[in-house]
Amino acid sequence: MIVCVCNNISDREIRQAIELGLSSMAELRRDLGVATCCGKCHSCAKEVLGEHLDRLQETVLARPVLTT
């Protein structure tokens, strides 16, 4: 789904950026241009950011710890 209509940024693009290391709205604004025009997408983008960061954190915590 398109999150930022002004810059044609989708939720998928936001999730991909997070997987590449972005972790804040400031970084999404800087690198993708999210919420830099009218700002109506800010809350939705922030929600996508938070949900995906949580999902990634859960994945990391669910991995077994390897000991040697």
* CATH number, domain containing residue 43: 1.10.10.1100
Question: How many helices and strands in the chain, by DSSP H and E?
Answer: 3, 2
The answer as to whether 67 is a domain residue is no
Look up residue 31 and give its two tokens.
């690198």
**Is residue 68 very low, low, confident or very high in pLDDT (cuts 50, 70, 90)?**
low
For the cut 80, the answer to whether the pLDDT of residue 58 exceeds it is yes
| Mean pLDDT confidence for 1-29 | 97
The answer as to whether 68 is a domain residue is no
| Mean pLDDT confidence for 34-47 | 97
Instruction: Count how many domains the chain has.
Output: 1
The Cα–Cα gap between 35 and 22 comes to 15
| Mean pLDDT confidence for 42-52 | 98
The boundaries of the domain holding residue 50 are 2-62
What does pLDDT average to over the chain?
Answer: 93
